[in-house]
Amino acid sequence: MDTVNNTNFNFPNQKSVYRGKVREVYNIDDELLVMIATDRLSAFDVVLPKQIPFKGQILNQIAAKMLQETKDIVPNWLLATPDPNVSVGLLCEPFKVEMVIRGYLSGHAAREYKAGKRTICGVNMQDGMKENDKFPIPIITPTTKAENGSHDEDISRENILSEGIVSEKDYKKLEEYTQNLFKRGSKLAEKRGLILVDTKYEFGKTNEGEIILIDEIHTPDSSRYFYAEGYQIKQNKEEKQKQLSKEFVREWLIKNGFQGLDGQKVPEMSKEKINEISERYIELYEQITGQKFEKGETNNVLQRIDKNVKQYLLHS
């Protein structure tokens, strides 16, 4: 079975390639972006050595569906998905912040809270909360947008404005879009028996100055989901929540002595573990979309992508 790791395509009118942690983005004539969702897996801002079968397809197809479900709230970059692993959309100038929004005290926020901190990104967190408790209202905790391989860093609204990273006018719009998208994402998750715990959104600006939603949304790489059934019972008993997100990968890495810190070695991932992670991603796809996952053709997958993208560009 082929997985998509590194790509080296040469598309018509290709200007440049940006290689992120899990996506590779081809600039077509400074007008379009061809975004390839690879099967690479990252955690703690480190790309792990083994790829996960169908992960790229799953992320790409969930994101496409969710962009379709939210385009009435905010315009987005997506034009087409010519291949299971590919999205094509508008090129724009990305904002250098990621808008993280949290409905619950989980993940990074919970780790900070457990360490005794009561503010994150300049936002106060009340005393007396347990891990995975719901915040009274969702909080926005932005991060700086990391360059290749470097860590995203927490940043406050005040610092974003004082450092001139985003203008106040634009930032207010980003906050408004983020809150409205999270409300919609939470409603969509609720229909599927899930809780959208936290997520992140990325935005850019077109040549005409319009703010649009870019990249992926509401996928297991950018979001955390709990199962709604039994959530409150587990909280009352202080038990771990049943969740569908990449957090189970992070937990496995932590258990095996890895948190992306200097000097730590990524643990060996067995075939069984790789298959388990793949099945978890498929489970999330089916749970959140309500559709059965149709596995893409995995023989000569790079040839398939190359052919489908070139065919699209030729006729677009």
101 and 230 housed in the same domain? yes
Q: How far apart are CA 245 and CA 107, in angstroms?
A: 11
Indicate whether 5 belongs to any domain: no
118 and 199 housed in the same domain? yes
Indicate whether 110 belongs to any domain: yes
Q: Give me the pLDDT at residue 146, please.
A: 62
Give bridge partners of residue 308 from the DSSP assignment.
Answer: none
Give bridge partners of residue 113 from the DSSP assignment.
Answer: none
Domain endpoint, select from 222, 238, 254: 238
172 and 63 housed in the same domain? no
Domain holding 171, by residue range, is: 94-238
- Token pair of 177, please? 């879009």
261 and 277 housed in the same domain? yes
Distance of CA 32 to the CA centre of its chain: 21
142 and 203 housed in the same domain? yes
Indicate whether 4 belongs to any domain: no
Q: Give me the pLDDT at residue 236, please.
A: 97
Domain endpoint, select from 177, 208, 238: 238
Indicate whether 182 belongs to any domain: yes
Indicate whether 215 belongs to any domain: yes
76 and 198 housed in the same domain? no
| CATH number of residue 49's parent domain | 3.30.200.20
71 and 191 housed in the same domain? no
Q: Give me the pLDDT at residue 45, please.
A: 82
148 and 110 housed in the same domain? yes
pLDDT along the chain (316 residues), means of 10: 91 95 94 96 89 95 96 97 97 96 96 97 97 98 74 91 97 98 96 95 95 93 92 96 81 91 91 92 90 92 96 93
Indicate whether 302 belongs to any domain: yes
Q: Give me the pLDDT at residue 284, please.
A: 82
85 and 56 housed in the same domain? yes
Indicate whether 143 belongs to any domain: yes
The count of domains in the chain is 2
- Token pair of 186, please? 């939470």
Task: Burial-class residue 237 by CB neighbours within 10 Å (0-12, 13-18, 19+).
Answer: exposed
233 and 275 housed in the same domain? no
Q: Give me the pLDDT at residue 244, please.
A: 76
Domain endpoint, select from 194, 218, 238: 238
Supply the pTM of this predicted model. Answer: 0.88
Q: Give me the pLDDT at residue 299, please.
A: 87
227 and 276 housed in the same domain? no
206 and 250 housed in the same domain? no
Q: Give me the pLDDT at residue 97, please.
A: 97
CB-based contacts of 144: which residues, under 8 Å, 6+ apart? 96, 97, 98, 152, 153, 155, 165
